[in-house]
Amino acid sequence: MISGKKIYLASRSPRRRELLAQIGVGFDLLLLRDDSARGMDVDETPHPGENPHDYVLRVSHAKAEVGWQRVQQRRLPLFPVLAADTAVVLNDRIMGKPANREEAMEMLLALSGKRHEVLTAVSVANAGRIEQKLSATIVQFGKLTDHAVRRYAMTGESLDKAGAYAIQGYAAAFIEKIEGSYSGVMGLPLYETAELLASFSVDIL
């Protein structure tokens, strides 16, 4: 096991890159295949009846595990691999990324005036060891008008976001309050991430 500041980030999310940089963690990107036409490294389809907490932990674990396999296959330097998975959950229903603007508007109207949960699981893999942490945050949306939802959907910001919104973007105006981790809603809870990385002797700051 090699200690130090650098890790591999097994994620395409620019938000996760920004958050890691915010706490001074050096990283290289380790991109997994996510194109269904060419084959996906990790199937993110929820299992029938799967608990949302179990779902994000399972997918995050799989991403870290596959990432570590890629490090070995490509004979890369043996730095830890960090992966994460985020789900927006309303009444035990996992709300994924909308396929189009119409679906995004449906999701936002479903969240309007309600409390929902945002779950982010973080996993770190190195030398056959995988450790995980789970962040759970409650988000309260204000009541949204059809006009506001339509205008937000037209920005395109919701199309690659779980639950069809980005807390760090225009949708911040929709959120009445949160109980938990702001960075967790963005996609990488920094407190839990720092704890995990420290357990792998990765320096923070």
Quick one: 18 exposed, middle or buried, by C-beta within 10 A (0-12, 13-18, 19+)? middle
Count Cβ neighbours within 10 Å for each residue of 158-172 and write b for 16 or more, e otherwise. beebbbbbbbbeebe
CB contact set of 25 (below 8 Å; sequence gap of 6+): 5, 7, 197, 202, 203, 204
DSSP 189: -
Catalytic status, residue 146: no
Structural element, H or E, at residue 15: helix 14-22
Look at strands 115-126 and 81-90 and give their pairing.
antiparallel
Question: Out of 41, 85, 92, 146, which one is annotated catalytic?
Answer: 85
CB contact set of 137 (below 8 Å; sequence gap of 6+): 117, 118, 119, 120, 178, 179, 180, 181, 182, 184, 185
Q: How many CB atoms lie within 10 A of CB 156?
A: 10
Q: Which residues are part of the catalytic machinery?
A: 85
